[in-house]
């Protein structure tokens, strides 16, 4: 296998079945969005037939990979984390050139990526995700005997994962979808994002090296480069692929959903797509309006607004206190300077979105920052409208990927509730209030049941940008935030997307899988006769 890209290298290829595979469908070069300059290194693109080599290898690897012990799977994920960490300096340098993201942001993202792999290593070893349930036979039960029933969850099969543009590490080659799928026992065919191919190559090689070091089948992980739509559709159509993980646009996600549903064997697509993450400022919160305005502006402009949890809607009360708050936002935003966006295409889309917003009837500009250096660093902007206009104008619910927010002025609690019921599905919804103010607590209590039906994560205080990775987090929500609001793409619960339950009735012990045997050789916590039995860890 080739080594990671250096200044002297000129061509790199997909990593398929443990080896570099030269593509025959042309090549790409990374573009530095800060300069619009093209990199020297080429990355060859696979055609549809070549992609099949990756899915075939994944299918062949699945039979063995799904049966390894929890300890073996944990050791693999831990090894992958260590190898990525060891290449950290090169990864950061390459990602900075390919994305325009600052070093500090990428260092944090790298730490999140390796920690996420280690988290799923613990999940794999603990084995709680296997969901073992046992109901021993009751031959004397009346009126009918009960058979011996044993249930576990097992991996679906090879999974296709698509890299996100805005997170070249944490939602990319070794990101949450990959980590959770591998922890579940699913081989991964990863479609690299063409905006950061060099970063993808380094991380992909680290994972492949861990596969080889741990003695696993080489098809457990493949990294493929290709023309986005063509190769993506080919992967989802491939009968060997049993599920899909995607982070990107609503149009991209729904296109994959349609293809998956049209297969002779439809498969699940877990797509994170579109969210405008409403913030609800209740009157009592305006007592700290300057601090609130500062937090909002920081959340809006961080990473040039290229976060799936960036605040796109800000609900503010009408009246003098609300006016003063909006004025403080205007003053603080005017002091900001635009940051470089990820790609020229993303920047162009963001500018078109803002132009459309500015031309809509009933919408007025509130504030605007300064343009950044280069062509791809537009100024942050805030616009304003009222609840009636928002509810009657569908375009105002469309995501603008970047530092653009719409302030919605509301007259009273009833109007605020009406606005919530008119929202689409969201990743997050945030409430700001004084918890000691009885009136606003009552308003929040009334809003909460409505927000629960609209968002996957509800915050009180703070800002939605920044997602903690752990057991209790949900990064998902009703459509169009995600394609399936029953799941999450961040946190340990993400592993459930790649599993399905199987029950075994009256299986002799010699035939029983390790997870459901009476001896409990894997030391799992299991539910037996309706009660959890905690196993000692060894």
Residue 478 is classified by DSSP as: T
List the Cα angle 296/302/387 in 5-degree steps: 40
As a whole number of angstroms, the distance between CA 272 and CA 256 comes to: 12
SS3 of residue 334 by DSSP? coil
Tell me the average pLDDT across 200-228: 97
**CA torsion through residues 275, 280, 286, 291, sign:** negative
User: For residues 393 and 229, which has the higher predicted lDDT (pLDDT)?
Assistant: 393
Tell me the average pLDDT across 65-70: 97
As a whole number of angstroms, the distance between CA 83 and CA 1 comes to: 15
Read off the pLDDT band of 5 (50, 70, 90): low
Residue 35 is classified by DSSP as: T
Which ranges of 127-216 does DSSP label H, i.e. alpha helix?
Answer: 176-184, 197-213
Per the CB < 8 A criterion, the answer to whether 163 and 136 are in contact is: no
As a whole number of angstroms, the distance between CA 190 and CA 169 comes to: 13
Read off the pLDDT band of 229 (50, 70, 90): confident
Specify the CATH class of 278-460 in words: alpha beta
* Per-residue model confidence (pLDDT) at position 528: 97
- Collect all residues with Cβ–Cβ distance below 8 Å to 145 and sequence separation of at least 6: 137, 138, 139
Give bridge partners of residue 526 from the DSSP assignment: 533
* Per-residue model confidence (pLDDT) at position 2: 43
* Per-residue model confidence (pLDDT) at position 61: 98
Q: Which two tokens stand for residue 123?
A: 């999940």
pLDDT tens-digit profile of 411-457? 999 999 999 999 999 999 999 999 999 999 999 999 999 999 999 99
Tell me the average pLDDT across 508-520: 96
User: For residues 534 and 67, which has the higher predicted lDDT (pLDDT)?
Assistant: 67
- Collect all residues with Cβ–Cβ distance below 8 Å to 313 and sequence separation of at least 6: 276, 277, 278, 279, 405, 406, 408
pLDDT tens-digit profile of 459-477? 999 999 989 999 999 999 9
**CA torsion through residues 183, 189, 195, 200, sign:** positive
> What percent of the chain is modeled with pLDDT above 90?
96
Tell me the average pLDDT across 160-172: 95
As a whole number of angstroms, the distance between CA 379 and CA 397 comes to: 21
pTM attached to this predicted model: 0.95
Domain residue limits, the chain:
11-273+488-496, 278-460
* Per-residue model confidence (pLDDT) at position 518: 94
Strands 42-44 and 159-162: unpaired
Catalytic site residue from 308, 354, 405, 515:
308
As a whole number of angstroms, the distance between CA 225 and CA 181 comes to: 20
Strand order in the sheet with 27-28: 11-12, 42-44, 27-28
As a whole number of angstroms, the distance between CA 267 and CA 22 comes to: 29
Per the CB < 8 A criterion, the answer to whether 297 and 332 are in contact is: yes
List the Cα angle 291/464/454 in 5-degree steps: 125
- Collect all residues with Cβ–Cβ distance below 8 Å to 262 and sequence separation of at least 6: none
Catalytic site residue from 98, 109, 125, 272:
272
* Per-residue model confidence (pLDDT) at position 538: 54
As a whole number of angstroms, the distance between CA 490 and CA 457 comes to: 12
pLDDT tens-digit profile of 99-137? 999 999 999 999 999 999 999 999 999 999 999 999 999
pLDDT tens-digit profile of 357-400? 999 999 999 999 999 998 999 999 999 999 999 999 999 999 99
pLDDT reading at 7 higher than 60 = no
State which H helix or E strand residue 356 sits in.
Answer: helix 344-359
Q: Which fold has domain 11-273+488-496?
A: Aldehyde Dehydrogenase; Chain A, domain 1 (3.40.605)
Beta strand ranges found along 277-357 (DSSP E): 278-281, 313-317
Whether residue 186 lies in the annotated active site: no
As a whole number of angstroms, the distance between CA 290 and CA 295 comes to: 9
Residue 145 is classified by DSSP as: P
List the Cα angle 419/353/308 in 5-degree steps: 65
Q: Go through the chain and tell me how many residues it has.
A: 538
Read off the pLDDT band of 1 (50, 70, 90): very low
pLDDT reading at 525 higher than 70 = yes
* Per-residue model confidence (pLDDT) at position 3: 47
């Amino acid at each position: 296998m080739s080594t990671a890209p250096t200044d002297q290298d000129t061509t790199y290829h997909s990593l398929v079945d443990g080896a570099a595979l030269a593509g025959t469908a042309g090549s790409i070069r990374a573009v530095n969005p800060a300069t619009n300059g093209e990199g020297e290194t080429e990355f060859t693109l696979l055609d549809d037939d070549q992609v099949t080599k990756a899915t075939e290898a994944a299918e062949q690897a699945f039979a063995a990979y799904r049966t390894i012990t929890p300890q073996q799977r944990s050791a693999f994920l831990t090894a992958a984390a260590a190898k990525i960490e060891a290449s950290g300096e090169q990864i950061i340098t390459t990602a900075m050139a390919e994305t325009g993201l600052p070093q500090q942001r990428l260092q944090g993202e790298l730490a999140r990526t390796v920690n996420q792999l280690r988290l799923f290593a613990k999940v794999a070893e603990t084995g709680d995700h296997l969901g073992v349930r046992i109901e021993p036979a009751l031959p004397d039960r009346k009126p009918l005997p009960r058979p011996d029933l044993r249930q576990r969850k097992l991996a679906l099969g090879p999974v296709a994962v698509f890299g996100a543009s805005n997170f070249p590490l944490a939602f990319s080659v070794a990101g949450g979808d990959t980590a959770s799928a591998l922890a579940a026992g699913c081989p991964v065919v990863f479609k690299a994002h063409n905006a950061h191919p060099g970063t993808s190559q380094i991380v992909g090689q680290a994972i492949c090296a861990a596969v080889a070091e741990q003695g696993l089948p080489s098809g457990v992980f493949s990294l493929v480069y290709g023309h986005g739509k063509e190769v993506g559709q080919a992967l989802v159509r491939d009968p060997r692929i049993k599920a899909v993980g995607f982070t990107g646009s609503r149009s991209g996600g729904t296109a994959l959903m349609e293809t998956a549903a049209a297969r002779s064997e439809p498969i699940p697509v877990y797509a994170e797509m579109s969210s405008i993450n409403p913030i609800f400022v209740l009157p009592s919160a305006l007592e700290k309006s300057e601090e609130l305005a500062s937090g909002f502006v920081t959340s809006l402009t961080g990473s040039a607004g290229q976060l799936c949890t960036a605040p796109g809607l800000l609900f503010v009360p009408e009246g003098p206190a609300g006016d003063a708050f909006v004025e403080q936002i205007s003053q603080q935003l005017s002091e900001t300077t635009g940051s470089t966006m990820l790609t020229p295409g993303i920047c162009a889309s963001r500018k078109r979105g803002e132009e459309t917003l500015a031309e809509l009837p009933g919408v007025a500009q509130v504030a605007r920052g300064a343009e950044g250096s280069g062509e791809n660093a537009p100024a942050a902007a805030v616009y304003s409208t009222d609840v009636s206009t928002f509810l009657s104008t569908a375009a105002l619910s469309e995501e603008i990927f970047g530092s653009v927010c719409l302030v919605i002025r509301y007259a009273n609690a009833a109007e605020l509730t009406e606005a919530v019921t008119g929202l689409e599905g969201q990743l997050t919804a945030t409430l700001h209030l004084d918890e000691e103010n009885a009136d606003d607590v009552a308003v929040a209590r009334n809003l909460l049941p409505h927000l629960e039906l609209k968002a996957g994560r509800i915050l009180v205080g703070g800002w939605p940008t920044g997602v903690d990775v752990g057991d209790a987090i949900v990064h998902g929500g009703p459509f169009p935030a995600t394609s399936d609001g029953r799941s999450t793409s961040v946190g340990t619960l993400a592993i459930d997307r790649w599993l399905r339950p199987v029950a075994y009735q009256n299986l002799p012990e010699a035939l029983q899988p390790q997870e459901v045997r009476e001896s409990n050789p894997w030391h799992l916590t299991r539910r037996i006769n309706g009660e959890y039995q905690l196993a000692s860890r060894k």
